[in-house]
């Protein structure tokens, strides 16, 4: 669980680099979700949550695009 938590935060830092608003929002959401489920004892539910967190990490890494404004009419 801790390994996945750290991986999500590392991915967040890479995906949202230089976007402080997105970095903070993602940090809060990751921390909130893990905190809300920290007392879960059902092995089935824990495995389901871990699978979902792993899927989110893959989606962040492969599907999120950060645009950079380079000129008045260009991104």
pLDDT at 65: 80
Residue of 59, 53, 57, 7 lying closest to 32 (CA atoms): 53
Whether residue 66 lies inside any domain: the answer is: no
Statement: the pTM of the whole predicted model exceeds 0.75: yes
User: What rounded mean pLDDT belongs to the chain?
Assistant: 91
The three-state secondary structure class of 64 is coil
Number of domains in the chain: 1
Whether residue 68 lies inside any domain: the answer is: no
What is residue 61's DSSP assignment?
Answer: H
Residue predicted with more confidence, 31 or 72: 31
Whether residue 75 lies inside any domain: the answer is: no
pLDDT tens by residue, 25-55:
999 999 999 999 999 999 999 999 999 999 9
Q: Which range marks the domain in which residue 9 is found?
A: 1-60
Whether residue 44 lies inside any domain: the answer is: yes
Task: Please state the φ and ψ torsions of residue 15, each to the nearest 5 degrees.
Answer: -70, -40
Q: Which two tokens stand for residue 11?
A: 């991915």
Whether residue 19 lies inside any domain: the answer is: yes
């Amino acid at each position: 669980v801790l390994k996945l938590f750290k991986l999500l935060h590392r991915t967040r830092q890479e995906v949202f680099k230089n976007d402080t608003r997105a970095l903070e929002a993602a940090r809060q959401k990751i921390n909130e979700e893990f905190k809300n489920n920290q007392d879960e004892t059902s092995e089935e539910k824990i495995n389901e949550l871990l699978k979902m967190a792993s899927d989110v990490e893959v989606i962040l890494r492969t599907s999120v695009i950060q645009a950079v404004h380079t000129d008045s009419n260009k991104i």
